[in-house]
Amino acid sequence: MDFKSYIRVIPDWPQPGIRFKDITTLLKDRRAYVAAVDALVERYRHERIDLVAGPEARGFVIGAPLAYALGVGFVPVRKSGKLPAETVEAEYDLEYGKDRLAIHKDAITPGQRVLIADDLLATGGTIATTVKLVRQLGGEIVGAAFLIELTYLNGRERLRDIEVTSLVRY
C-alpha cells in the first residue's frame, strides 16, 4: 500500500517553512490504518518482544495497536507529571527549550525486550530519550518502528545501535 498517499502534508504549519506530515488522514482510513499496523507487525512478528513502548501522544496510536497485534504489553512514555506512580525521567532538548519524559519505574523489568514505536522519526530527540529510559530500567531495545521518517533531519543517526523501521520516508 502506498501509505504516503494517505498522509496529508500541510505547508507552513505550525510555522512558516515547515511541511507538517498529518497522519490523521491515514488513521481515519480503516484500510490504511490496519495495513500500516499490519506492515509493522509483519516486520516484528518473528522477533522476541515482551513490550512495546510509545511516547505520547501519537506513539500511543501506533504502539498500542502494534502491541495488541503482537500479543504483548504496552508501556506509555509520558511528559513529566502525567503518570500516577513512581517514575524515572529524562530531559531532552526541544527546538526552543527543554522537556522531560517519564516512565513508570515498574513498567519494565531487567532483561525484557522492548520495541519502541512512534508515528514519526524526525531529529530523534524523543526516541533517544525513550531509549534512555527503557535502558535505565534494564530493558533491551529490539528496534524502533515508525510510520514516517524525515530522513533529512538525520534522526536515525541518534539511534546508531538500534534497527529502525519506517514505512514512509520523506
- Whether 58 is a known active-site residue: answer yes
- As a whole number of angstroms, the distance between CA 108 and CA 102 comes to 13
Q: Which of 43, 58, 100, 158 is catalytic?
A: 58
Host H or E run for residue 67: helix 58-70
Angle between helices 30-44 and 58-70 (to 10 degrees): 60
- For 142-160, the pLDDT digits (tens) are 999 999 999 999 999 999 9
Q: Write the CATH number of the domain with boundaries 47-169.
A: 3.40.50.2020
Task: State yes or no: pLDDT of 66 exceeds 90.
Answer: yes
- Whether 158 is a known active-site residue: answer no
Q: Which of 30, 48, 86, 95 is catalytic?
A: 95
Q: Please report the pLDDT score of residue 152 as a whole number.
A: 96
**Three-class SS string for 35-56?**
HHHHHHHHHHCCCCCCEEEEEC
- As a whole number of angstroms, the distance between CA 49 and CA 45 comes to 9
Task: State yes or no: pLDDT of 97 exceeds 90.
Answer: no
Q: How many helices (H) and strands (E) does the chain have?
A: 4, 9
Half-sphere exposure of 6 (CA within 13 A, CB side): 21
Cα dihedral across residues 31, 150, 56, 163: positive or negative: positive
* Domain boundary assignment for the chain: 47-169
102 confidence band (pLDDT: 50, 70, 90)? very high
Average pLDDT, rounded, for the chain: 96
Q: Please report the pLDDT score of residue 36 as a whole number.
A: 98
Q: Please report the pLDDT score of residue 95 as a whole number.
A: 66
- As a whole number of angstroms, the distance between CA 115 and CA 65 comes to 13
Q: What is the mean pLDDT of residues 82-92?
A: 97
The percent of residues in the chain predicted with pLDDT above 90, rounded, is 96
- For 12-55, the pLDDT digits (tens) are 999 999 999 999 999 999 999 999 999 999 999 999 999 999 99
Task: State yes or no: pLDDT of 161 exceeds 80.
Answer: yes
